[in-house]
Structure formats: structure tokens, C-alpha cells
Amino acid sequence: MIFYQWDASGLFVGQQDVDEEGALPPRSTPTKPPKLTGTQVARWTGEGWEKLAKAPDPDPEPAPDWVALIADRRFRAEIAGFPWNGFGIDTERDSQAKISSSWSAARDGFREDGSVWKCLDLATGQIVSRPTTNAEMIDIGQQAYRYVQACYDREGALLEAAAGGTVTAEMIEEGWPT
């Protein structure tokens, strides 16, 4: 049995001989398309074939949602963390709040010097509770602030490029702090 097939746009693309007991091919019908001449094409409507004078122009690819793509990339950079003295400092949102609190406590003299800070030992790949001085905690807080701010600064520059129509997908992957 012959089945006539169409593509995702509904345009006739060919025929296929199918075993009567076999599975039906996707996007197909036993209804024969009309005879075509010149630039004419047949399009499946769901109920039958319609003859068109020519293939319709393809739908233009929608423009990327640059704002959403840039925000997503900023968020991934923001929470990626940064290296500090051989350790990885987590900058996920909860960690940012904890860093800020400990930074303020150390700066204001409320944090006990030598309290532990949980971080990634970059040499071993293990999470460790590392005793840190208040001076180190202040340094971590300052670097975390600069790191996260740099992510937002990069996002701002990319949003300006998007508004000016000059942003590219490659630009979105470049220039983030590490």
C-alpha cells in the first residue's frame, strides 16, 4: 500500500510503499496528492491536500531572547564560586548570605577569630571545614562581593549590547569572572 508523506510544514515530500500489516509511517496518508506542475507544491491540511502555487517562505527563526539568555548566564557565573588561597568559595545564594553575615560579624568584631568556614579544598576536591581568622573572613567577604558584582557588571554590559543590537551568543559566554 502506498502512503504519501509530508514534512513538519505539511508539504508533500514523497511516498512510501508500506506493508499492509506494518506500522504506518509518521506524517502520512493514503490520500494521493494532486498533480503538480512548475513551482506548485501540495500541503496536507489534516483533511486533504491543497495545491499551492509555490512553497511558502519558511518562518523566520525567532530572535533569541537575549535578556533571558544573559540573565541565565549571569546566574550560572554568579553561583559558580571563586578560588581563594587554594580553596573554592561557594557563591550560591545561601552561601552569599552566609558570607555577608560572617564578613559583617568579623568586620564588626562579633565573630570569634579562628571559626571554621566550609569550603572546597582545590587540591583534594574535598569539602573541608577550615579555621579562618577574622582577617581571612573579611578578605573572603570582600572577594565574594567583588566576584558577584563583577557578574552583574558583565550582565549590564551585555544588556547594553543587546539593547544596541550588537550582542552575540559568543559574547554571552565570554568575559565572566573566574
Q: Each residue's pLDDT tens digit in the chain (178 positions)?
A: 899 999 988 999 999 988 888 788 899 999 999 999 999 999 999 999 999 999 988 878 888 999 999 999 999 999 999 999 999 999 999 999 999 999 999 999 999 999 999 999 999 999 999 999 999 999 999 999 999 999 999 999 999 999 999 999 999 999 999 8
**How distant, in Å, are the alpha carbons of 77, 101, 106 from that of 174?**
11, 31, 34
- What number of CA atoms fall less than 13 Å from residue 84's CA on the CB side? 23
Q: How far is CA 159 from the centre of its chain?
A: 16
C-alpha cell at 92: 550560591
Whether the CB-CB separation of 41 and 11 falls below 8 Å is answered with: yes
What pLDDT sits at residue 163? 95
| Count of structural domains within the chain | 2
What pLDDT sits at residue 123? 96
Looking at the structure, tell me whether residues 97 and 146 fall in a common domain: yes
Q: How far apart are CA 103 and CA 141, in angstroms?
A: 5
For residue 12, the SS3 value is strand
What pLDDT sits at residue 22? 78
* Residues spanned by the domain of 17: 2-52
Q: How far apart are CA 79 and CA 90, in angstroms?
A: 7
Looking at the structure, tell me whether residues 98 and 120 fall in a common domain: yes
For residue 15, the SS3 value is strand
**How distant, in Å, are the alpha carbons of 125, 156, 159 from that of 73?**
25, 12, 12
What pLDDT sits at residue 58? 82
Looking at the structure, tell me whether residues 12 and 84 fall in a common domain: no
Looking at the structure, tell me whether residues 24 and 79 fall in a common domain: no
Looking at the structure, tell me whether residues 70 and 142 fall in a common domain: yes
